[in-house]
């Protein structure tokens, strides 16, 4: 079933309407015909044994029950057909019966009005010329008109069923839409890896910060004068000249007197 079929009824002269009408009519006939045949046979048997009154009662009750049964089958079969064709369950069996029945009645009445003149012609030919070719033509025309009326009834039934189903489908609760998960975004460009170098990088030498003098440490001593005088005490040239004490020996501790 296409999506367009789910929102619009069938056209009258369409294959879908004929198929839907046949779905209901043949299922209805299979159930109703036995309900008609059995009372008729029972009534004929009662008439044969001389119970004519009981025969008429049985046949009348049987036909009445068969008519009611046929009317009950119309909404049931329409609901079954709608579940198979549209996937929706219809509600209100009395409303379904009325909306299908009056449409079929109107369409059948129009077909009867259209076919009445040809039926009169066929009946006249069959009656006036019973043993001739014209009489056979009249009988054939009668059969064809009967088949045409049955086809029109099937078309009207299928069209009416689709009208009833489409009229209820917009009011039915719809299932919540199921959204598919959005695909993950794909990177437009592939990441370019940096080339790997075979030569190890040169070590980075970080200079140590210069030590700051502590505020409590003594001030640095001025550099001593260069050595160059021989110590008169030990005879070594390990003497220096200080800015305060003068010449002194770093080995024996000699100091030059002032």
Q: Is residue 239 over pLDDT 80?
A: no
CA–CA dist 240, 249 (Å, integer): 6
Q: How confident is the model at residue 46 (pLDDT cuts 50, 70, 90)?
A: confident
Per-residue pLDDT tens over the stretch 83-131: 999 888 899 999 999 999 999 999 989 988 998 898 898 888 888 888 8
Its pTM stands at: 0.59
Residue 190 has a pLDDT of 45
Task: Show Cβ contacts of residue 47 under 8 Å, excluding neighbours closer than 6 positions.
Answer: 55
The full DSSP string for 158-227 is HHHHHHHHHHHGGGSPPPPP-PPPPPPPPPSSPPPPPPPPSSPPPPPP-PPPPPPPPTTSPPPPPPPBPP
CA-nearest of 73, 70, 74, 63 to 38 is: 63
Q: Structural domain boundaries of the chain?
A: 15-171, 224-258
């Amino acid at each position: 079933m296409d999506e367009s079929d789910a929102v619009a009824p069938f056209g009258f002269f369409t294959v879908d309407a004929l198929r839907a009408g046949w779905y209901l009519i043949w299922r209805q006939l299979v159930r109703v015909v036995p309900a008609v045949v059995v009372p008729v046979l029972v009534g004929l048997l009662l008439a044969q044994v001389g119970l004519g009154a009981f025969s008429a009662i049985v046949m009348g009750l049987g036909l009445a029950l068969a008519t009611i049964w046929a009317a009950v089958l119309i909404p049931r079969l329409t609901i079954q057909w709608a579940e198979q064709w549209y996937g929706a369950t219809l509600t209100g069996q009395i409303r379904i019966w009325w909306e299908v029945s009056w449409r079929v009645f109107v369409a059948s009445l129009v077909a009867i009005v259209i076919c009445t003149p040809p039926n009169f012609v066929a009946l006249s030919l069959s009656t006036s010329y019973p043993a001739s070719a014209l009489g056979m033509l009249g009988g054939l025309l009668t059969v064809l008109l009967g088949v045409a009326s049955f086809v029109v009834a099937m078309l009207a039934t299928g069209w009416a069923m689709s009208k009833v189903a489409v009229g209820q489908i917009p009011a039915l609760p719809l299932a919540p839409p199921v959204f598919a998960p959005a695909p993950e975004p794909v990177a437009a460009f592939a990441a370019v890896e940096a080339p790997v170098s075979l030569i190890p990088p040169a070590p980075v030498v970080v200079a140590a910060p210069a030590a700051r003098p502590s505020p409590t440490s003594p001030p640095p001593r001025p550099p001593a004068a260069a050595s160059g005088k021989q110590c008169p005490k030990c005879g070594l040239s390990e003497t220096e000249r200080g800015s305060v004490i003068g010449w002194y020996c770093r080995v024996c501790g000699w100091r030059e007197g002032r």
